[in-house]
Structure 1
Amino acid sequence: MLTIEAEGHVWPLDTFIDSHRFRRSDGDVPPIARSDWPLACITADCRIIEEPARHVPWHTIIAYRAPELSSHLAQCPDCGDTAEIASSLFANEDGTLILDCPTCGSADPDGYC
């Protein structure tokens, strides 16, 4: 069983990824990889790194997400992907702000984080 050391504890890797809402990387470079937004990433050797997305060594990443308290990125509750808030935010007919996930198309009227 693979483990990761984080938050002063040793976690089973899968438990940490799931409980901290990381999106597992399928080997493809996500669209956000071309941005300068910081991401929290887990490497294949079970380390957590925070880098601007365009500097992340994507060939070594097994999971990623927006860092804690990010005001620029949001995470979709349906697919778990990370998206830039500025490009995903729109208002519907009644003025409610909605974050629209560019990956799965899910629209959340309360926003997502």
Structure 2
Amino acid sequence: MATKKYVAKYRLLKETYEGITGKGISDITWYRTVASLKQYFSLSIESEKAISIVETYALMKRKCSAFSFRTSDFSERWQAFKHFYDAEEVQYTGQQFLVALADYLKINLDDVPRSTR
């Protein structure tokens, strides 16, 4: 059974999300979103960083409404992000990162249009 404090924070996080995106979200969709945030970002509803995680996710959704954890290539993209995020204190310039990312994803940069890079 959820505590009053948990329910209040859960509701606050939902309202925060809706305020940032400017759209309502159904209870079941919010429940699934929270489950994904728990899986990928270690969200704990009552933690201090919960609001920050929800705000960041809401900003991503506002910029790209099609963003979803359930897309077929999300796991691949998440693994690439984690690979570079978990690297020990490595610093890249923009060009160095582009080359390292292309190597990681096994992409030939000559096949990528300059406007896409």
Shorter chain as normaliser: what TM range?
under 0.3
Greater strand content: 1
Determine which structure has greater relative contact order: mean sequence separation of CA pairs < 8 Å that are 6+ residues apart, divided by chain length: 2
Q: What is the TM-score with the length of structure 2 in the denominator?
A: 0.26
TM-score by length of 1: 0.27
- Please identify which structure carries the higher helix content: 2
Q: Bigger radius of gyration, 1 or 2?
A: 2
